[in-house]
Structures are given as C-alpha cells and as structure tokens.
Copies of this chain bind each other. A is one copy, B any other.
C-alpha cells in the first residue's frame, strides 16, 4: 500500500489553501470595524470553497485564532534590559496602546469565546510567556513569574478592554507597573525577613 492510514497531509495544495484563507482573514479583519469576520467573505476572497472553510476552521473565531497565531511569532520582542521598571513600562504602554485598536481585541475575544470548547487557550500565548519570563530573569527577579505578570497586567488590561473601554496607556500603565513592583517588594521582604 502507499502509506499507513490516518496520515496528515500538510504540503502542496493544503498549504496553499491554508495560506489563502489566513491572508483573507487578516485582510478582512483589518478592514473590519468591530473585529468581526464573515465566513462567507473569507471564502469568497480566498477563492477557497465555503464548505472547505467550514470543515477546516469551523467558526469565525477559529479563523481569527489561526490567522493571528500564525504571525504571533513575528511580533516585536519584549525589552529585557535588566531594569525591571523601565522594561515593564515599555511593554505595558505598548500593550495598552495595542488594545485601543479593535483589530487587536478581536484575537483575545476569539480566544475567550473558544475557551472552554477546546483545549487550554493559554498555550497560544506560550511564546509570549517565554519572553515575559526572560524580562524577569534579566532583572534578576526570582519572586515573580510570568503567572504574576499575567494576573497583574494582562488579565486586567484585556478584561477592561473587552468589557468596557480600553485603558489609557498614559494613565494606567504607571499604575500597573507600580502594582507589579509593589508585589515584588512585598514578596522579597517576606522572603528576606
């Protein structure tokens, strides 16, 4: 026989379809005012048949997640100079600025929607998580982990953006940084004393 049953086949036409759909999704997402994407439009623009899009991506959220995860690695890296306050300030200001754009919110909204219907959605954030950890390591901080930055920075920023209005980078970044440093100090004092 040619091959064992159940093999996957990522090359050639399949890869072309994938890329066409991803590109169409990215384009339509950029054009969309509310961070929404219509499956029929994605199919039309990509030239891929509607039924195929449904089969492989299932939902509009699936399209968004796949498209965004695909170029998540190409994002600008986080600063890791060893000066924790400065690094955090830079990172968080940029993050909050991103969240003022509807297109950037679409991804997180899609993730939250998809969460609970499948696997752990945090796995998508893994590359970013490693960068966050690197920032902490560069500063020689051992009492904080990426989980703390997730809780103190990412969660509030995203929830506020999704639930009411995005934070103001100029105003809120400082508070978030201060909160992180407050927790750091408290833990170092507790550990040292």
Give the CA-CA distance A160 to B162 in the complex, in Å: 15
B35 and A116 form a contact (CB under 8 A): yes
Q: Which of A35, A154, A163, A186 has the most CB of B within 10 A?
A: A163
Q: Identify which of residues 94-128 in chain A touch chain B, using a CB-to-CB cut-off of 8 Å.
A: 105, 109, 111-113, 115-117, 120-122
| Complex Cα spacing A37 to B82, Å | 49
Give bound CA distance, A150 to B179, whole Å.
Answer: 13
Cβ contact within 8 Å between A159 and B155:
yes
Q: Which residues of B have CB within 8 Å of A105?
A: 116
- Partner among B34, B115, B183 whose Cβ is within 8 Å of the Cβ of A162: B115
Q: Are A152 and B179 in contact, CB atoms less than 8 angstroms apart? A: yes
Docked complex Cα distance between A109 and B163 (Å): 11
Contacts of A178 in B (CB 8 A): 183, 186-187
> Inside 8 A of A165's CB, which chain B residues have their CB?
120
Q: Does A70 contact B (CB under 8 A)?
A: no
A91 contacts B by Cβ under 8 Å: no
The chain A residues found within 8 Å of chain B, CB to CB, are 34-35, 105, 109, 111-113, 115-117, 120-122, 150-152, 154-156, 158-160, 162-165, 176, 178-179, 181-183, 185-187
26 A-B residue pairings within 8 Å (CB atoms): A34-B116, A105-B116, A109-B112, A109-B115, A111-B163, A112-B112, A112-B159, A113-B113, A115-B163, A116-B162, A122-B164, A151-B179, A152-B152, A152-B156, A155-B155, A155-B159, A155-B160, A156-B156, A158-B159, A159-B159, A178-B187, A179-B183, A182-B183, A182-B186, A183-B183, A186-B186
